[in-house]
Each structure stands twice: as C-alpha cells, then as structure tokens.
Amino acid sequence: MNKLSKPLLIFFGTLCLSLGVIGVILPLLPTTPLLLLAAYCYGKSSKKLNHWLKTNKFLGKYITQFQQGHGVTKKTKVKVLVILWISALYSILFVVNSLVISIVLLLIFLSVSYYILSLKVIPPEEVKKS
C-alpha cells in the first residue's frame, strides 16, 4: 500500500463510520452500508482500527454478524422498518413538494424495506451465544 492510500482509507473509513453512527439517529442515512464501508476501509488500511471497530461495544457484534452472513435480529428489523417508514411518510407528506420526487422516494423506501425484509433473522438463542 502506498503512502497516500493508507491515510485516505483511514479518512474515508472514519467519515463513513461517523455518518453511519449519525444514521442510527437520522434514519435517512444508510447506517449498515456506511458501517460496512468503514470496516472495509479500516480492514485495508489499519489492523488497529479494524480490530477496534469489530470489538466495539456498540457496533462490533452488529458488523461482525452481518459480515459473516448471520443476519440481524427480528427486533432490529422491526425497529429499522418502523423508523424508516415514519421518516419516509413524513418526508413524502410534509417535506417534498414534487410528485416525481415523492414517487422516487417511495420507490427507494420500498427497495430498502425489501432488502431489510430479505435479511436472514438471527434466532434469539444465537444472539445470546455470541
């Protein structure tokens, strides 16, 4: 890895991590892809940061389970879908003034919902093991 790649990957990883954490609060930011991108950037640039992220008390288990293909809990799916659709309906009904943009947003929210629903559900007993 050249001298420029490592700092850039660390910068983009940190940017994605920051936006991903903000996305936990602001549902319009795509938390999962941003956190996975941060994990990728850290994995390619810094063993220390990658280890810190994967062992992080709040995000580590989530990222590791997702990367290993285990899926997400039913509780997480429900929370994400409720927050997603509250923000979707609010945006479409009160923020956007264009029918075309409202339709595009609706299609995006439907696509994201389909993706979330298609994720494998981790049984509660498996979550307790990890």
Same domain as 75, residue 63: no
Total residues belonging to the chain: 130
Same domain as 4, residue 59: yes
pLDDT for res 10 = 94
Which residue bears the tokens 């994400």? 80
Same domain as 82, residue 21: no
Domain's final residue, options 47, 68, 89: 68
User: Which pTM does this prediction carry?
Assistant: 0.59
Q: Distances from the Cα of 73 to the Cαs of 55, 57, 96, 124, in angstroms?
A: 19, 17, 32, 7
Same domain as 63, residue 41: yes
Same domain as 92, residue 79: yes
Q: How many domains does the chain have?
A: 2
pLDDT for res 17 = 93
Same domain as 118, residue 86: yes
pLDDT under 50: residue ranges of the chain: none
pLDDT for res 28 = 67
pLDDT for res 98 = 92
**What residues pair up with 121 in beta bridges, in sequence order?**
72
Domain's final residue, options 68, 87, 113: 68
Name the residue range of residue 64's domain: 1-68
Beta-strand (E) ranges in the chain?
A: 72-73, 121-122
Cβ partners under 8 Å of residue 106, min gap 6:
88, 92
The CA dihedral of 45, 48, 49, 50, to the nearest 10 degrees, is: 80
Domain's final residue, options 68, 84, 110: 68
- Amino acid at position 15, single letter: L
Question: What is the distance, to the nearest Å, from the Cα of residue 65 to the centroid of all Cα atoms in its chain?
Answer: 13
